[in-house]
Amino acid sequence: MKIFALSALISALAVFCLSQTGPGSGPVQLTLDKFKKIEIGMTYEQVAQIIGFAGELRASSVDDYRGGGQTYVWIGGNAAISVRFAKGRAAYKDEIGLSRPLAEMLRIPAARPPAQLSIEKYGALKLGMTYVQAVALIGSDGEEQEGMRSKTVRAYTWTNSDLNTISATFTNGRLSLKSQFGIGKWLDEELGSVPNLRLDQFDAIIMGSKYADVEAIIGGPGRVSSSTEDRTMKIETVEWRDSRGGLITVILSQYVVTSKSRSKVFSPDSVETARPRGEVTLANFSKLKSGMSRAQATAIFEAPGVSIDFSQSGKLTVETVEWRTSYGALVTAIFNNGTLASANQSGLT
């Protein structure tokens, strides 16, 4: 787990500002031999006895998936030992500065300059290209993903200053898979002239529609926020946004709509703050039961609420509905396929 590595790193950095001696009068002796003697399953007392002095409690948890535990760190000289205990027994150990010099372990590679990425460059990447051709097109080397490396496969990622990426996988030296995330996103300065998205536009989008149909419904082109493509499939996430935060998203698989979602897209007569004339009270909230329909919830509160978010993928629909009071209390309910899956409230009296 990352927390172990982080604890060890914090300990190592602390070495530079701590004394070279431990709690006793003599110098601290952390050795690789002591580290090797620490065994999984030992108690804290057994570990402390091996090391020769008490450790410093650096982290603890009562809801960890391992059942809770504590992480102790021993620091001495230019080294540190970290041990995590779960249910009173050593479950993980780590060291820094014992098996390798500290300076070598903390050596940070030079930062790679951000790549200059664009949706045009991504579109120009063609399956079958070589890595050299991809570098010439993008304008810089990618960062190789060592975990995906094999005899026949190499994978590279290019990242720009906004942390958006282009990823490319080469099989037997040829581009076999490409993907991008965030390259085609909307810019804030572009949203000022975009008309507000409407609920009737979203409702008119039908599963199986083509992109051109969706574009005609909304009245303009969307932006491809992410995509993945190889020789057998192409999946794209396309977004439409407006200046008030409205968002319509469709996922295209093989160029047809397979999923759609919206957020903060309302009908012209809806009230975004969802302040009804009904009875949104703590007593009525307690009447909500899992499995009831939205119509039943509406009857309880005597108001329909406002549909804030909605998504449809295949046969599954998920809708988030809010009821607000004039004094700022809020009820939020999530309906799966039209039946209540969960609900919570804040501020009701």
- pLDDT tens readout for residues 160-215: 988 899 999 999 999 999 999 988 877 777 777 778 899 999 999 999 999 999 99
pLDDT in tens, the chain (349 residues): 444 444 444 444 444 333 333 444 345 578 999 999 999 999 999 999 999 898 887 765 544 334 457 788 888 877 889 898 888 888 888 888 887 765 555 555 566 789 999 999 999 999 999 999 999 999 999 999 887 788 899 999 999 988 899 999 999 999 999 999 988 877 777 777 778 899 999 999 999 999 999 999 999 999 998 999 999 999 999 999 998 889 999 999 999 999 999 998 987 655 544 445 568 888 899 899 999 999 999 999 988 888 889 999 988 999 999 988 888 888 999 999 999 999 988 888 7
Which class is domain 282-346? alpha beta
- Statement: 119-181 belongs to CATH 3.40.50.300: no
- In degrees, rounded to 5, the angle at the alpha carbon of residue 295 between the alpha carbons of residues 290 and 300 is 75
3-class secondary structure per residue, 96-164: ECCCCCHHHHCCCCCCCCCCCCCHHHHHHCCCCCCHHHHHHHHCCCCEECHHHCCCCEEEEEEECCCCC
For domain 2-105, which CATH number applies: 3.40.50.1100, 3.30.1450.10, 3.30.390.10, 3.30.465.10? 3.30.1450.10
For domain 188-263, which CATH number applies: 3.60.90.10, 3.30.1450.10, 1.20.1630.10, 3.10.450.240? 3.30.1450.10
Q: Where along the chain do the CATH 3.30.1450.10 domains lie?
A: 2-105, 119-181, 188-263, 282-346
> For 321, phi and psi rounded to 5 degrees?
-120, 140
Q: Whole-model pTM?
A: 0.63
pLDDT digits (tens, 9 = 90+) for 327-345: 888 899 999 999 999 998 8
